[in-house]
A and B are shown apart, each in its own frame.
Chain A
């Protein structure tokens, strides 16, 4: 157990270079602006004085190294600058919108995993059957679908034609008030407040965008599950298990799936990365008030501090997700820590 803790500690340490790299790149991005960054950060309406103020605040009159330390120092204080379009600190803007994005992403990912893993297992255990073919078509079609396009046509079918879905405008129908904030996830908060109606309404709003995201994530997960299971099922150790007459369920779950699940977990990290990107597009399609929509508005308004804050936040979020996966892997896979 001690060695496991030691290994988890090592994993945490190994994340430091990633964080450092992420910060360096974000810094480079904020300084890569063509022309005078101060003008960009001060915004279009700024006069000479405020541009100078920004220049000094950002330390643009000093050396690169100094600028970097100022940047890092500001980050430690949670200072990502002010958003020009709202006048609020970027960090605060992002924090209030983050739960909306996370709720959507997690539900989308959850949907995808629930559908894709059984599908992949079934396809692998019945190679050549119709379910295998369905799986293959879904996998190839799934990665070919532009999320913004699927989203739009789900709206067209379920909102415009069938009228089953609510209007694709945000997290809650305008008739309802948002539940008291505990986690920021409306579904959970409304349940905590024992407000069934709000819960149903927020769920209704969630279904289409979450399904759009899920459809996008379905393909890689199903592909990996199928591939991993096929590999495990044809492995020597599964042959041994079968040669010893172990029950079918034991062979499938204890022997094959547990082995296939470990690389799948790693893929899940990659899928999450794609989901965070797709999330931006889906938020725009469904007018979802998350950080993706915020970033797009900021882009349009040339609000650079906000955009770079958004990029950094997403990257840090992804680092945390990867770290979590690594820690889970370290705890479940006995081989981790030996080979790399």
Chain B
């Protein structure tokens, strides 16, 4: 553990961009957890006297068409957006890497079936498939999560499959066989830990993409329903007002969305350094 912390510090010292990304990540995480207590106003409270007010001291991000405080809504929305993305990515990581690892390690007919399955998903434009899944399974937040998880699955399958099949006959895997390890144990202790670095990068990049995806779905009216605060839906609500010059309705949730995605993309590179033992000195 201390070695990990030491390495963490080393990686941080090496790359200021990673420091920036990690601090941003902490802020986002903080808002996700404590957002409901930080928010100055009730995100759902309407105020007909205060509709469409531009940013001011009392309302730093302005108010929307129902007089709700945009600042509070942006903060509170963090939990929902993050929650959807984290659950979806966790699901696809668990299922995808399990399927991909076994396919790559053992080969044979399960490999061909898993490969064909992931190819079939990839044959769809992924956002469109997510639309279709949500439309078919019903318009709810859980289904947004499942849809996002399904469309991310092939990426995890592919990465873990290639990495596992490269290592299937690596010297240290054979050495473990000679040491009497069973295939299952080899997969868990020799192969899987070594394919974590590429998987971590995939996770980080995927998180950003999953957030974008979920926001996109709610932008077109799927998943999250008004009046719940969510970045995508807030941009959609603000879209109507942009042609008449009320820019703050869409700008702030959009910027929050962008920042979160940007943060996860930057984090991808930082994470790679963190988990890559070859750079550990």
Contacts and interface: CB of A to CB of B under 8 A. Distances in A.
A–B touch (CB < 8 A): the answer is yes
Contacts of B222: 299
Contact of A32 (B119, B137, B235, B244): B137
Interface residues on B, range: 35 or more
B235 A277 contact: no
A315 B265 contact: no
Given A144-B258, A155-B243, A21 B131 contact: no
Nearest to B251: A153
B72 to A, nearest CB: 20
B277 interface: no
A64 interface: no
Interface residues of A, number: 54
A314 interface: yes
Contacts of B236: 148
B123 A322 contact: yes
A315 B243 contact: no
Interface stretch (A77-85, A190-198, A224-232, A304-312): A304-312
B97 to A, nearest CB: 20
Interface in B227-252: 232, 235-236, 238-239, 242-245, 247, 250-251
A18 interface: yes
A17 B116 contact: yes
Contacts of A145: 258
Interface stretch (B6-14, B188-196, B212-220): B212-220
Given A141-B262, A284-B220, A159 B128 contact: no
Given A148-B235, A296-B220, A22 B132 contact: no
B123 A319 contact: yes
B135 A152 contact: no
Interface stretch (A23-31, A119-127, A252-260): A23-31
B132 A29 contact: yes
Contacts of B258: 144-146, 149
B200 interface: no
Interface of A is mostly: helix
A105 to B, nearest CB: 10
A146 B218 CA distance: 12
The B interface, classified by DSSP as helix, strand, loop or mixed, is: helix
Contacts of B130: 277
B125 A276 contact: yes
A33 B134 CA distance: 10
A217 B74 CA distance: 27
Nearest to A140: B265
B216 A146 contact: yes
A296 B221 contact: yes
B120 interface: yes
A280 to B, nearest CB: 7
B138 to A, nearest CB: 5
Nearest to A139: B265
Nearest to A319: B123
B208 A144 contact: yes
Contact of B124 (A34, A168, A307, A314): A314
30 contacts: A25-B121, A25-B124, A140-B266, A144-B261, A145-B258, A146-B212, A146-B219, A146-B235, A146-B257, A146-B258, A147-B216, A149-B254, A152-B238, A152-B242, A152-B254, A153-B251, A155-B242, A160-B245, A273-B124, A276-B127, A277-B130, A280-B127, A296-B221, A307-B132, A310-B128, A310-B132, A311-B129, A311-B132, A315-B128, A322-B123
Given A146-B257, A156-B243, 5 more contacts: A152-B254, A274-B127, A276-B125, A307-B135, A315-B129
4 A-B pairs closest in CB distance? A277-B127, A21-B120, A311-B132, A276-B125
Interface of B: 116, 119-133, 135-138, 205, 208-209, 212, 215-216, 219-222, 232, 235-236, 238-239, 242-245, 247, 250-251, 254, 257-258, 261-262, 265-266
